[in-house]
Chain A
Amino acid sequence: MACPLTDGKRMTAKRLAEEAVLRVMNQSETKMNAIWLETSGCSGNIISFLNSSNPNAYEVLTSIVNLTYDNSIMGEEGEAAYDKFLETLNTEFILLVDGAVSTKDNGVYTIVAYYHGQRITAYEAVQLAGAKAKYVIAVGTCASYGGISSARPNPSGCRSVREVLNRTVIRLPCCPCHPDWIIGTIAHLVSFGMPELDSDGRPSVFYGTTIHDNCTRRGFFEAGNFAAALGEPGCMFRLGCRGPVTRTDCPRRKWNGYVNWPIGNNATCIGCAQAFFPDGMEPFVRY
């Protein structure tokens, strides 16, 4: 396996996206359809996707992938919207699930549509599209592992996408998911097929190292210099920082136009990309 550090630098989402655009323009690849299905969550992952800066969401939606359905941005509403969902099922498409899947009481806690007199649960829609999709991507921690939607006592019986679909699911955890990881993964699927995944189903290129490996405060940790309160310089490990166990490239990539990231802003990493977030990552701040 190639070194994930150098790979991470070389294979940025931008490079992947540029490659995908070139291939679509040269018509060596056709634009693949995609469904973005919001389920039990906060709509934060579609907002994060819209925060993509390089390329931005408009470029992605016009040049790389043909998104046919997303509750938050699509033009049609009601049955005409759900028609788009159903039409896409008969094509080659990527299914992106944003949110956990509520399974309690057959999923009545999340209704995505009312179609020909029937309420369609998110549980049903995920199973329907999941059975037909060429690729399934779980976007964010709720879709990947259940996340905050399944926090104890899990009142709506939320489960991860993989728990309700018996097939390969690419996991892109983090709360929210970084837009580069979403676009980079889509671009990889469009241009090169399935990316290399780790044993947990995460693309190694984005999730190959822990935050601690590349943390800007790693030197403080090695020197035994620990912060006693938020806002102090020093390693925040003793304040509950989850950087040592959390696998993302946040310290190198950073967020929102690459301007900042939690530890860079004097805050602990709360392990929001981890399988046991939030229950297993608390307390977020230990005083």
Chain B
Amino acid sequence: MTQRITIDPITRISGFLEISAELDQNTIVDAQAKGLLFRGFETMLKGRQPLDAVFFTERICGICSAAHSFASTLALEDALHVYTSNNDKYLREIIHGFEFVQNHLRHFYLMLMPCFVKITSPPIVNVEQYSDFRIPEEGTARLQEHYRQGIEFSMLAHEGQAVLGAKAPHHHGIFPGGVVSDLTAYKIVKVRSYIRQLLTFVSTVMREDTEVIAYYYPDYYEMGISYPNFLSYGVFDNAEESIHYVGPGVLMNGELQEFSPDNITKQVNYAWFNSSNEADEVNPEKKDAYTFIKAPRYANNPMEVGPLARMLISGNYQGGHSCMDRIYARMLETEKILNIMNNLTDLLELLPNGQRRLSIPDISQGAGLVDTTRGSLGHWISIGNKVIDHYSIITPSNWNLSPKDADGNPGVIEKALIGTVIADINSPVEIGRIVRSFDPCVSCATHLIGRNGDRITIELPV
């Protein structure tokens, strides 16, 4: 006998997500991830000034706004043929780095931890509906104190970003040509001070907390496994070893392959859109559709993106592909990125930033592909008559939260849920844990437009 469980809202993520799972006895046999927020950014962008895309698109997401300003800046630099100096590139990588740290700390402490640890203060975080909390009282008290510190340190990461980016979220720092900020010796030592405080916290407290959770929940190394397919566009992809993290790459069934953007397609079979390239063709009445999120595929494969994908592709993680591997890899990545940021500050020189008046071509195209906090983010811009003619975005959560495709393959998070055994179907705590291990963001995911199966053929920026 089958039975359906629906959880909505999946709280402690960004945006509005509903998970609907069909169970046979205690095993999930089908799952649907439903993104239930639509604003239509690409439609809004049509006709606007190209340079305004930087400040406009960062407002897609309040927790990863620097990701969108970074990708839109890359797309504009590609379209406008703008050169950027290494010094400015390093500065914006530091700004982006603070976004990673802020996001990963907020995700781990505020969003994920209450799934596994009985946090009771502040009272809003307390969970009464589930009882599978395994960490003894003393350990829980320590983690409760670390939760409080997690709020402070994630705030501190955004403060570091603001030193170079004016404010956070929705910063004014990254812009075509590099950054707008002036660099001073004071800013360098100030930024370095934030990085070192954060590194100390991550490499001691966050590492300990992750290991405690992994110790008490070893079964989650066997749960939440999705496709063995991973994608990264690369980030901190610098030549020097000390500041290099990961280049563009694909890991398909254990085999490392070269990434080619020509292999990306997007489908709308199960999304509330007509097969059209206009977002105002949104159609909430569409038969069989169940989400505002479209389905990107790579060579027809659903791909997992995010910290685990990057750590596997870069050879920095040798573990498996489970819920707990995802959590562990995110912690290791936070430490890795802080070390890179620290090394980047050593390379900074007190040079003027690369800003100059930019001229907008009548017609041009550009692509900005970069890995960000949650995975691979692509912005594609097409300029006509000096304004935005077409703007297309595929966010990391598009990849992870996508619905079924034309071949009937479930999306990555759906696949991770299928096969999961729910110990007590009146208390399905497992679903939220697995879903949150991906750090999904619906605010970002529901803006994609494009023809059914449209092939994206714009080349990577140089």
Contact = CB atoms under 8 A, between A and B. Distances in A.
B385 interface: no
A30 to B, nearest CB: 14
Question: Which of B110, B111, B352 has the most chain A CB atoms inside 10 A of its CB?
Answer: B110
Contacts of B173: 265, 267
Nearest to A83: B129
B279 to A, nearest CB: 6
Interface in A96-143: 102, 105, 108-114, 119
Interface in B204-260: none
A287 B161 CA distance: 26
Contacts of A111: 8, 16, 18, 36-37
A266 interface: yes
B383 interface: no
Interface in B108-165: 110-111, 114, 119, 121-129, 148, 151-152, 154-156, 158-159, 161-165
B37 A262 contact: no
A266 B13 CA distance: 33
Contacts of A70: 124
Given A43-B443, A75-B114, A108 B284 contact: yes
Contact of B37 (A78, A109, A148, A154): A109
Interface stretch (A12-20, A187-195, A208-216, A251-259): A251-259
Contacts of B399: none
Question: Which of A41, A47, A73, A109 has the most chain B CB atoms inside 10 A of its CB?
Answer: A47
Contact of B59 (A62, A67, A148): A148
A38 B129 CA distance: 22
B364 interface: no
B358 interface: yes
Contacts of A257: 155-156, 159, 162
Interface stretch (A3-11, A49-57, A199-207, A217-225): A49-57
Interface of B: 6-16, 18, 36-40, 43-44, 48-49, 51-52, 55-56, 59-63, 65, 106, 110-111, 114, 119, 121-129, 148, 151-152, 154-156, 158-159, 161-170, 172-173, 175, 180-182, 190, 279-280, 282, 284, 292, 352-360, 432, 443
A50 B106 contact: yes
A24 interface: no
Given A81-B11, A109-B292, A155-B44, 9 more contacts: A42-B60, A44-B59, A111-B18, A113-B8, A155-B279, A155-B280, A231-B354, A266-B181, A287-B357
A229 B357 contact: yes
A69 B124 contact: yes
12 contacts: A43-B62, A67-B122, A75-B124, A78-B9, A105-B284, A111-B37, A153-B43, A268-B172, A270-B55, A272-B170, A284-B55, A284-B56
Interface string A270-283: 10100000100011
Contact of B163 (A73, A259, A278): A259
Contact of B119 (A50, A56, A75, A153): A75
A78 B282 CA distance: 26
Contact of A50 (B40, B60, B155, B355): B155
Q: How large is the interface on A (under 10, 10 to 19, 20 to 34, 35 or more residues)?
A: 35 or more
Interface string A58-74: 10011000111111111
Contacts of B158: 47, 51, 256
A81 to B, nearest CB: 5
A264 interface: yes
Contact of B129 (A76, A109, A114): A76
B118 to A, nearest CB: 9
Interface string A127-171: 000000000000000000000110111111010000000000000
Contacts of A259: 159, 162-163, 190
Contacts of B356: 229, 231
A230 B355 contact: yes
A287 B11 contact: no
Nearest to A53: B155
A80 interface: yes
A91 interface: no
Contact of A255 (B166, B180, B443): B166
Given A80-B129, A105-B284, A282-B52, A231 B166 contact: no
Nearest to A46: B62
Contact of B151 (A56, A78, A228, A231): A56
Contacts of B151: 50, 56-58
Contacts of A229: 355-357
B59 A77 contact: no
A256 B172 contact: no
Given A270-B55, A283-B49, A176 B170 contact: yes
Nearest to B14: A43
Contacts of B156: 257
B166 A260 contact: yes
Contacts of B14: 42-43, 72
Contact of B353 (A156, A231, A285): A231
A149 B38 CA distance: 9
Nearest to A227: B355
Nearest to A69: B124
Contacts of A112: 9, 16
Given A44-B62, A71-B16, A278 B125 contact: no
A45 interface: yes
A255 B162 contact: yes
A7 B205 CA distance: 41
Question: Which of A109, A119, A228 has the most chain B CB atoms inside 10 A of its CB?
Answer: A109
Interface string A218-245: 0000000000111110000000000000
A175 interface: yes
Contact of B166 (A40, A109, A262): A262
Nearest to A98: B62
Contacts of A153: 43-44, 280
Given A40-B37, A74-B125, A114 B8 contact: yes
Question: Which of B158, B172, B279, B354 has the most chain A CB atoms inside 10 A of its CB?
Answer: B172
B11 A74 contact: yes
Question: Which of B11, B12, B180 has the most chain A CB atoms inside 10 A of its CB?
Answer: B11
A115 B110 CA distance: 24
Nearest to B34: A111
A96 to B, nearest CB: 13
